[in-house]
Amino acid sequence: MKRVAIVTGGSSGIGLETGKLLSLQGFTVILAARRESRLRKIVDAHRDSVPLEFFTCDTGDEESVKSLFHYAREKHGQADVLVNSAGLGYKGAIDEMPASHFDEMMHTNVRGVYLCIKYVVPLMKERQKGHIVNISSGAGKNGIASMAGYCASKFAVMGMTESLALELKPFNIKVSVVCPGSTNTDFQFVMNGAHPSEEARKQMIQPEDIARTVLHIVSAPESCWVYEVTTRAFLKNRI
């Protein structure tokens, strides 16, 4: 039986590349994101080469998340892997940042991760196995000036991951976290207000690299638990 993977933030960047790679490796993949039109285009474009399913979902909305995992249960009867990749960020001095920006980051980056885990865990407990991979950030391990709100949300993901790893281990459910450094996604534009140069993009981690990291984590033998992976761009002129 194929393993079923649900990937949030699946319409672009790390989420999309992770979903595509898992599908190529034999997983049944459900991409979840808010933009139905974009998800539909992605699935249609890859129909002949990379079979994918999609489900429109706002991970910060509880009813929307409940519907996602109800779909997984009704169609496939299981959820073996959850990749929490949905996330967003705003940059700015704390005294200048609109409260709405802070709330939006917490809504997606923290509440969204919590809700998806809350509703996937019963499916995994039923089968006494499963793997949850949270995509945090280097900003979840180090404070960064003008990114206090984003760092706060990603530090929260780190704490949630560590606690849940202990809580779910007795049920044979693994919980892991990936902390990417600067990655070549649309996130860079949102954070900085301008697209990086082509040269800068080449020096960043590519979303495909993070996808391969996630695949390595969820493909490890039963006796092996890859708990945390931190990735950085390999810039030869920097330490």
Q: In the chain, what are the domains?
A: 4-230 (3.40.50.720)
C-beta separation of 135 from 180 below 8 A: yes
Question: Helix, strand or coil for residue 92?
Answer: coil
pLDDT at 151 over 60: yes
Give residue-wise pLDDT tens across range 182-193. Answer: 877 666 545 555
HSE (CB half, 13 Å, CA atoms) of 35? 12
pLDDT at site 238: 54
Q: Which of 90, 114, 119, 150 is catalytic?
A: 150
Residue 71 catalytic?
no
Rounded CA separation 209/213 (Å): 6
pLDDT at 88 over 80: yes
Rounded to an integer, the average pLDDT of 76-101 is 96
Question: Helix, strand or coil for residue 174?
Answer: strand
Tokens found for residue 128: 């006494």
In the predicted model, what is the mean pLDDT of the chain?
Answer: 93
pLDDT at site 211: 97
What pTM, to 2 d.p., does this model score? 0.93
What Cα–Cα distance (Å) separates residue 152 from each residue in 15, 98, 141, 190? 21, 15, 10, 18
Q: Which residues contact 81 (CB under 8 A, 6 or more apart)?
A: 3, 4, 5, 6, 22, 27, 130, 131, 132, 133, 218
pLDDT at site 233: 85
Rounded to an integer, the average pLDDT of 147-176 is 98
